[in-house]
């Protein structure tokens, strides 16, 4: 009986994704326990976040594909409205205006856009499935650029980049011409000086710090220096769970959120990192397989976009901790402490599951 109920509840959950995600979430809780200095409270709070996010994933997985397509436009519009609202009446925290107080909860509309933008583009291309013209790509680009600029002005460079990249993935998968792609790349590089002059001081500093962290070892370079020390000192096998000195003696900043990967690398070493990277690659690979086998263009583009956005999260975070990329506020998916990104990411995983499991139920 119970088995049948469970089977019913789980019929839209992809078994492989579910297993991979569960392993990652458990690993996240374990490393959070260490990173937080054995704080049961923190782990419990994160377990709560996971519960909520899993529920949302379940909901997303159970939404039929055609319903999903129909919410794309409203979701995008709501997202845009909220972003404008943030611009006008948002809460300022640490010099950036990112949050909106809805009375009962504080939300970060930019987070919503990480899903809403690829969804919107997927829906848009799906509508013009048969006749994809150049003008479609122009419209799609505008659809990406508007939220990206709004988020960048908060300012939130990290999130705006992620949203832009998510949009770009969909454009790329939808068949944006290679010539245009290369052209955009050239223009982009040419635009770098202008972008530089438009940047906030702290953003420039982050870039400079990446190029030479030792320039400001106690200021902006501190994060990178301490995280590479943590990583490097971990060696092949790591210092062992709960034995990381960089984290436990508080040298590593933001060790339970954005820099949790450094704690992991210090305590579990290169071997642990290899396992973690493989798990993430399996999740992404599964997502790409789901995309490849998706029944509609909307589903294909959405699944591809979501999978590649997930990949971007992983890479940007790991690259930042490893000292390859500037310090941008991107958490490590499923591992970092915090509810917002977890909800977004598991919502995305839920969408993948929905695409996977509703495949045969929708006639094409």
Partner 1 sequence: MRRTVELRDHQRELYVFQFRLTVAAIVVGVVFLVLFVRLFYLQVIQHDYYQLLAEQNRVNIVPVVPHRGVILDRNGVTLATNYAAYTLEITPSEVSDVDALIEQISELVEVTPKDLRRFRKMLDEEPDFSSIPIRTRLNDAEVAHFAVNRYRIPGAQINARLFRHYPNAEMASHVVGYIGRLSETDYKGLERQGRAFNYTKSDYIGKVGLEQFYEQELRGVTGYEHVETDANGHSIRTLRSILPVSGNNLLLAMDVRLQQIAEEAFGDYRGSLVAIEPETGGVLAFVSRPGFDSNLFVEGIDPAQWAAMNNSPDHPLNNRALQGVYPPGSTFKPFMALAGLELGKRTANYSISDPGYFMLGGRGHVFRDWKAGGHGIVDMHKAIVESCDTYFYELAQDLGIDMIHDFIAQFGLGERTGIDIAGEVSGLLPSREWKEQRFNQRWFVGDTISVGIGQGYNLVTPLQLASATAILANGGQVFRPHLVRHIQNAQTNELKTVEPFPVAQVPLQPRHLDLVREAMVDVTRPGGTAAWAGSGAKYAFAGKTGTAQVIGLKGQKYDEEAIDERHRDHALFIGFAPAEAPKIALAVLVENGGHGSSTAAPIARKVIDYYLLGVEPKPLAPRAAVVESEGD
For partner 1, the binding residues (CB under 8 A) are 129-132, 169, 172-175, 226, 228-236, 245-246, 249-251, 265, 269-270, 273-274, 277, 280-281, 284-285, 288, 291-292, 297, 300-301, 304, 308, 311, 315, 318-319, 322-324
Complex with partner 1: residue 86 or 299, whichever CB lies closer: 299
Complex with partner 1: residue 13 or 262, whichever CB lies closer: 262
Complex with partner 1: residue 48 or 232, whichever CB lies closer: 232
Q: Are 100 and 85 in contact (CB under 8 A)?
A: yes
Least distance between partner 1 and beta carbon 289 (Å):
9
Complex with partner 1: residue 268 or 347, whichever CB lies closer: 268
C-alpha 32/C-alpha 263 separation (Å) is 9
Least distance between partner 1 and beta carbon 229 (Å):
5
C-alpha 207/C-alpha 230 separation (Å) is 21
C-alpha 70/C-alpha 57 separation (Å) is 18
Least distance between partner 1 and beta carbon 333 (Å):
14
Q: Are 171 and 140 in contact (CB under 8 A)?
A: yes
- Structure-token pair, residue 333: 């998916």
What value does the CA radius of gyration of the chain take, rounded to a whole number of Å? 21
Picking from 338, 35, 328, 353, the residue whose alpha carbon sits closest to that of residue 203 is: 328
C-alpha 108/C-alpha 277 separation (Å) is 28
Bond preceding residue 136 cis, omega within 30 of 0: no
Complex with partner 1: residue 110 or 273, whichever CB lies closer: 273
- Structure-token pair, residue 109: 């509309």
Complex with partner 1: residue 113 or 284, whichever CB lies closer: 284
Picking from 177, 218, 207, 234, the residue whose alpha carbon sits closest to that of residue 326 is: 207
Buried b (16+ CB within 10 A) or exposed e, 264-292: bbbbbbeebbeebeebbebbbebbbebbe
Complex with partner 1: residue 88 or 249, whichever CB lies closer: 249
Residue 101 φ then ψ, to 5°: -95, 110
Least distance between partner 1 and beta carbon 275 (Å):
12
Least distance between partner 1 and beta carbon 40 (Å):
21
Complex with partner 1: residue 155 or 253, whichever CB lies closer: 253
Q: For residue 83, count other CB atoms closer than 10 A to its CB.
A: 22
Least distance between partner 1 and beta carbon 231 (Å):
5
Least distance between partner 1 and beta carbon 151 (Å):
24
Complex with partner 1: residue 111 or 267, whichever CB lies closer: 267
Q: At what angle do helices 297-321 and 222-234 cross, to 10 degrees?
A: 90
Least distance between partner 1 and beta carbon 354 (Å):
19
Least distance between partner 1 and beta carbon 280 (Å):
8
């Amino acid at each position: 009986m119970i088995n049948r109920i469970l089977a019913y509840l789980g019929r839209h959950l992809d078994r492989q994704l579910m297993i991979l995600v569960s392993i990652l979430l458990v690993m996240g809780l374990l490393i959070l326990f260490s990173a937080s200095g054995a704080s049961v409270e923190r782990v419990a709070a994160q377990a709560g976040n996971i519960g909520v996010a899993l529920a949302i994933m379940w909901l997303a997985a159970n939404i039929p594909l055609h319903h999903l397509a129909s919410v794309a436009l409203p979701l995008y519009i709501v997202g845009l409205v909220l972003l404008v609202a943030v611009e006008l009446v948002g809460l300022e925290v640490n010099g950036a205006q990112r949050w909106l107080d809805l009375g009962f909860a504080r939300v970060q509309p930019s987070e919503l856009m990480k899903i809403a933008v690829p969804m919107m583009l997927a829906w848009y291309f799906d509508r013009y499935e048969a006749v994809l013209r150049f003008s479609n790509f122009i419209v799609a680009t505008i659809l990406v650029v508007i939220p990206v600029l709004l988020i960048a002005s908060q300012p939130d460079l990290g999130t705006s980049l992620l949203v832009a990249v998510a949009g770009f993935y969909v454009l790329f998968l939808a068949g944006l011409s290679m010539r245009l792609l290369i052209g955009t790349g050239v223009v982009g590089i040419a635009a770098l000086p202008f972008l530089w002059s438009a940047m906030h001081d702290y953003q420039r500093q982050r870039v400079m710090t990446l190029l030479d962290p030792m320039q400001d070892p106690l200021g902006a370079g501190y994060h990178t220096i301490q995280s590479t020390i943590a990583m490097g000192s971990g060696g092949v096998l790591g210092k062992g769970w709960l034995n990381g000195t960089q984290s436990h003696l508080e040298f590593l900043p933001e060790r339970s959120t954005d820099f949790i990967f450094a704690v992991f690398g210090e305590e579990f070493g290169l071997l642990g990192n290899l396992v973690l990277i493989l798990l993430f690659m399996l999740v992404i690979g599964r997502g790409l397989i789901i995309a490849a086998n998706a029944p509609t263009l909307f589903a294909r583009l959405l699944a591809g976009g979501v999978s590649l956005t997930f990949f971007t999260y992983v890479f940007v975070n790991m690259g930042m901790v490893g000292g390859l990329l500037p310090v941008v506020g991107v958490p490590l998916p499923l591992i970092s402490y915090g509810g917002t990104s977890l909800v977004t990411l598991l919502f995305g995983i839920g969408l993948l599951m929905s695409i996977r499991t509703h495949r045969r139920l929708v006639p094409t």
